[in-house]
C-alpha cells in the first residue's frame, strides 16, 4: 500500500500507514501520540504477546473447544492481535481458530485486509465492520478480546451475553486514573467503588475491574475465574474464564469484598476467620487485610477516612496452571521469528539480527516473573517492600528477591511479584515476614 511501513511485532509482520501528526507535547514512549489512519500502540506489544501465550496454554491444557475456536478481536484496529494468534500459534492450534476482527472504522479493517492478503497465506481472518455492541450478539463466541480506548465498561454487558457456554474474555482498561482511585468521580461512576491511591492502587484497580466483570457476568447467570491479571505501564488487563452457571453466579459475593488499610486486630481476626488472610498474627501491625462484602465491620469504616478500598475482587488474580505456560522456552519459540521468515516477509537482510534481538527482548519483558507466580499459593498477598515500614521497623527496604528466597527456604514458597512496584507474593505468616525482613536489612549494614 502506498506510504505503508513494514514492521514486526512478536513473530508477526505488519504493514501500517506512516504516522501522520506527531504531537510533540507527548514526546516518546507509551504515551506518545502520533496519529495514523489506523490505531496502533507499540506499548501494547507485551499484552498481545501474553494473549498468544494464553491461547497457546489453554489449548495445551484442553480448556478450549475440541473443534473450532470462535475467537473475536472485538476492537481490533489493524487486527494485529488476531493476526498474531493465527501466525504465532503452532499449525495444529492455529488451524482450529476461526478468527474474526471487528472495528467500527472501515479504514482500520482495510489495513487488516491488506495485511492478511500480503502475509496470511491460506489462513482465514473474517472482518466485521460495525459497532461491537451490536455485532457481537450475532454469535456464540469462545474467545473475545476487548481493548477499548479508555474504559471497557460500556462493552461488558453485550460481550458477556455473546459467549457460548464457556469462553475466555480478555479485557484491557486504559482508564487507570479511574481504576486506581485518582479520579474519584469516574471510579464511583464507572465502577461503583472507592480506591485508596497508594502503591497498591493498581492491584486494587485490577480487583475493581474483576469485580465489575464478575457482577455483569452474574447478571447473565455466568461465573468468572481470573486466569491472568497484569498492570503494565499505562494499562490494566485481566483475562478470565467465563462459565454458564446459575449457582456460580449466585455465589458471586464470595469473591467480592473490601480491602482495609492499617487493620485493627479485630479486623485482622475477621479476615483470618473468613479465610482471607493467610498471614495470621492479628496482634501485629500489617499493611492491609481483606474483609467479606457483607461483614458489618466493612460498612462501619467510613470511606472518608480512606482506610477502605472496594468493593473489589478478593479471590485469586491468576490460575497457577495457566501461568506455567508463560515460560521463556515457549515464549521465545512462538513469538520470535527466524531469518528465513524475515527474508520471506521482505525485511532488509541487514536488519535481521536487530529485529530478532528486539523481538526477543520484548517477549522476555512481557512474561517477566509470571511463571514464578505459579509457584506460590493462590491466596498469597502482594507485599511491597517499600511499604513494610512502619509495620516492620526498617532502615531501608529488603531486596524482594532475597526476601522471597528466605521465605521459600523457611518453607513458604514465595516469589518476586510480577508487579512494577518492588514486592513479593507470599502467604507466609506475618511474624516470619517481619523477622526475615529485619534480619536481611540488618545484615546488609
Ligand X SMILES: C[S@@+](CC[C@H](N)C(=O)[O-])C[C@H]1O[C@@H](n2cnc3c(N)ncnc32)[C@H](O)[C@@H]1O
Q: Does 103 bind ligand X (CB under 6 A)?
A: yes
Q: Does 170 bind ligand X (CB under 6 A)?
A: no
Candidates 53-61, 128-136, 206-214, 396-404: pick the segment binding ligand X (CB under 6 A). 128-136
Q: Which is nearer to ligand X, 17 or 292 (CB)?
A: 17
d(CA 217, CA 222): 5
Specify whether the CB–CB gap between 371 and 425 falls below 8 A.
no
Q: Does 102 bind ligand X (CB under 6 A)?
A: yes
- The closest alpha carbon to 189, from 197, 178, 198, belongs to 178
CA dihedral 33, 35, 39, 40 (to 10 degrees): -60
**Residue corresponding to grid cell 491466596:** 379
Q: Which is nearer to ligand X, 103 or 110 (CB)?
A: 103
Q: Does 412 bind ligand X (CB under 6 A)?
A: no
Smallest distance, ligand X to C-beta of residue 124, A: 19
d(CA 80, CA 78): 5
Q: Does 149 bind ligand X (CB under 6 A)?
A: yes
Smallest distance, ligand X to C-beta of residue 44, A: 5
Q: Does 205 bind ligand X (CB under 6 A)?
A: no
CA distances from 329 to 11, 48, 149, 342 (A): 15, 18, 33, 21
- The number of residues in the chain equals 445
Candidates 96-104, 338-346, 348-356, 379-387: pick the segment binding ligand X (CB under 6 A). 96-104
Residues 6+ apart with CB under 8 A from 61: 321, 322, 325
d(CA 268, CA 283): 8
* Beta partners for residue 73, in sequence order: 101, 145
**Residue corresponding to grid cell 514492521:** 7
**Residue corresponding to grid cell 469473591:** 255
CA angle (356 as vertex; 354, 357 as ends), nearest 5 = 65
Q: Does 17 bind ligand X (CB under 6 A)?
A: no
Q: Which is nearer to ligand X, 173 or 416 (CB)?
A: 173
Smallest distance, ligand X to C-beta of residue 344, A: 23
CA angle (271 as vertex; 266, 274 as ends), nearest 5 = 125
Q: Does 148 bind ligand X (CB under 6 A)?
A: yes
Q: Which is nearer to ligand X, 53 or 195 (CB)?
A: 53
Which residues ranging from 336 to 375 are in contact with ligand X (CB under 6 A)?
none
Q: Does 438 bind ligand X (CB under 6 A)?
A: no
Smallest distance, ligand X to C-beta of residue 421, A: 25
Q: Does 106 bind ligand X (CB under 6 A)?
A: no
Mapped onto helix, strand or coil, the DSSP state of residue 95 is coil
Which residues ranging from 53 to 92 are in contact with ligand X (CB under 6 A)?
75-78, 80-81
Smallest distance, ligand X to C-beta of residue 192, A: 23
Q: Does 131 bind ligand X (CB under 6 A)?
A: yes
Candidates 125-133, 176-184, 260-268, 354-362: pick the segment binding ligand X (CB under 6 A). 125-133
Q: Which is nearer to ligand X, 116 or 255 (CB)?
A: 116
Candidates 131-139, 275-283, 295-303, 408-416: pick the segment binding ligand X (CB under 6 A). 131-139
**Residue corresponding to grid cell 521465605:** 407
Q: Does 147 bind ligand X (CB under 6 A)?
A: yes
Q: Is the dihedral of CA 380, 326, 241, 113 positive or negative?
A: positive
Q: Which is nearer to ligand X, 147 or 175 (CB)?
A: 147
Smallest distance, ligand X to C-beta of residue 223, A: 26
Q: Does 40 bind ligand X (CB under 6 A)?
A: yes
Smallest distance, ligand X to C-beta of residue 373, A: 24
Q: Which is nearer to ligand X, 77 or 392 (CB)?
A: 77
Q: Looking at 196-346, which runs of residues are DSSP E strands? A: 222-232, 235-244, 256-261, 288-292, 308-313
Q: Which is nearer to ligand X, 46 or 310 (CB)?
A: 46
Q: Does 100 bind ligand X (CB under 6 A)?
A: no
DSSP assignment of 241-280 equals EEEE-HHHHHGGGGGEEEEEES--HHHHHHHHHTT--TT-
Candidates 98-106, 221-229, 303-311, 386-394: pick the segment binding ligand X (CB under 6 A). 98-106
Q: How many residues bind ligand X (CB under 6 A)?
A: 21
The grid coordinates listed for 70 are: 470462535
- Is 6 exposed, middle or buried, given 0-12, 13-18 or 19+ CB atoms closer than 10 A? middle
Q: Does 26 bind ligand X (CB under 6 A)?
A: no
CA distances from 424 to 22, 236, 270 (A): 39, 19, 24
Q: Which is nearer to ligand X, 1 or 105 (CB)?
A: 105
The grid coordinates listed for 400 are: 524482594
Binding site for ligand X (CB under 6 A): 39-40, 44, 48, 75-78, 80-81, 102-105, 108, 131-133, 147-149
Amino acid at each position: 500500500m502506498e506510504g505503508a511501513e513494514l514492521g514486526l511485532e512478536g513473530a508477526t509482520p505488519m504493514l501500517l500507514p506512516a504516522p501522520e501528526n506527531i504531537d510533540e507535547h507527548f514526546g516518546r514512549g507509551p504515551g506518545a501520540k502520533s496519529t495514523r489512519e489506523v490505531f496502533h500502540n507499540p506499548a501494547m506489544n507485551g499484552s498481545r504477546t501474553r494473549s498468544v501465550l494464553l491461547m497457546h496454554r489453554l489449548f495445551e491444557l484442553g480448556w478450549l473447544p475440541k473443534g473450532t475456536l470462535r475467537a473475536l478481536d472485538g476492537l481490533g484496529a489493524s487486527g494485529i492481535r488476531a493476526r498474531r494468534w493465527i501466525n504465532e500459534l503452532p499449525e495444529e492450534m492455529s488451524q482450529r481458530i476461526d478468527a474474526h476482527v471487528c472495528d467500527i472504522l472501515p479504514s482500520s479493517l482495510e489495513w487488516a485486509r491488506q495485511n492478511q492478503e500480503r502475509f496470511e497465506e491460506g489462513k482465514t481472518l473474517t472482518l466485521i465492520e460495525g459497532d461491537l455492541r451490536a455485532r457481537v450478539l450475532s454469535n456464540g463466541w469462545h474467545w473475545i478480546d476487548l481493548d477499548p480506548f479508555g474504559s471497557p465498561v460500556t462493552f461488558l454487558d453485550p460481550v458477556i451475553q455473546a459467549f457460548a457456554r464457556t469462553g475466555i474474555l480478555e479485557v484491557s482498561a486504559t482508564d487507570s486514573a479511574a481504576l486506581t482511585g485518582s479520579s474519584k468521580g469516574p471510579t464511583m461512576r464507572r465502577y461503583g467503588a472507592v480506591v485508596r491511591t497508594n502503591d497498591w492502587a493498581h492491584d486494587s484497580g485490577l480487583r475493581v475491574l474483576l469485580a465489575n466483570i464478575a457482577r455483569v457476568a452474574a447478571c447473565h447467570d455466568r461465573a468468572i475465574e481470573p486466569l491472568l491479571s497484569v498492570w503494565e505501564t499505562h494499562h490494566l488487563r485481566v483475562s478470565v474464564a467465563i462459565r454458564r452457571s446459575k449457582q456460580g453466579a449466585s455465589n458471586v459475593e464470595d469473591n467480592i469484598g473490601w480491602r482495609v488499610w492499617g487493620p485493627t486486630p479485630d479486623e485482622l481476626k475477621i479476615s483470618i476467620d473468613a479465610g482471607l488472610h493467610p498471614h495470621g498474627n492479628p496482634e501485629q501491625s500489617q499493611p492491609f487485610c481483606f474483609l467479606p462484602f457483607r461483614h458489618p465491620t466493612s460498612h462501619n469504616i467510613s470511606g472518608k477516612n480512606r482506610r477502605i478500598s472496594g468493593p473489589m475482587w478478593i479471590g485469586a488474580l491468576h490460575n497457577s496452571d495457566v501461568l506455567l505456560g508463560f515460560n521463556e522456552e515457549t515464549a521465545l519459540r512462538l513469538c520470535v521469528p527466524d531469518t528465513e521468515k524475515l527474508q520471506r516477509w521482505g525485511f532488509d537482510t541487514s536488519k535481521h539480527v536487530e529485529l530478532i534481538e528486539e523481538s526477543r527482548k520484548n517477549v522476555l519483558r512481557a512474561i517477566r516473573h509470571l511463571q514464578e507466580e505459579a509457584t506460590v499459593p493462590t491466596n498469597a498477598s502482594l507485599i511491597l517492600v517499600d511499604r513494610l515500614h512502619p509495620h516492620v521497623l526498617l532502615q531501608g527496604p529488603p531486596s524482594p528477591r532475597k526476601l522471597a528466597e528466605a521465605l521459600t527456604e523457611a518453607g513458604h514458597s514465595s516469589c518476586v511479584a510480577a508487579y512494577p512496584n518492588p514486592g513479593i507474593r507470599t502467604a507466609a505468616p506475618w511474624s516470619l515476614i517481619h523477622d526475615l525482613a529485619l534480619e536481611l536489612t540488618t545484615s546488609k549494614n
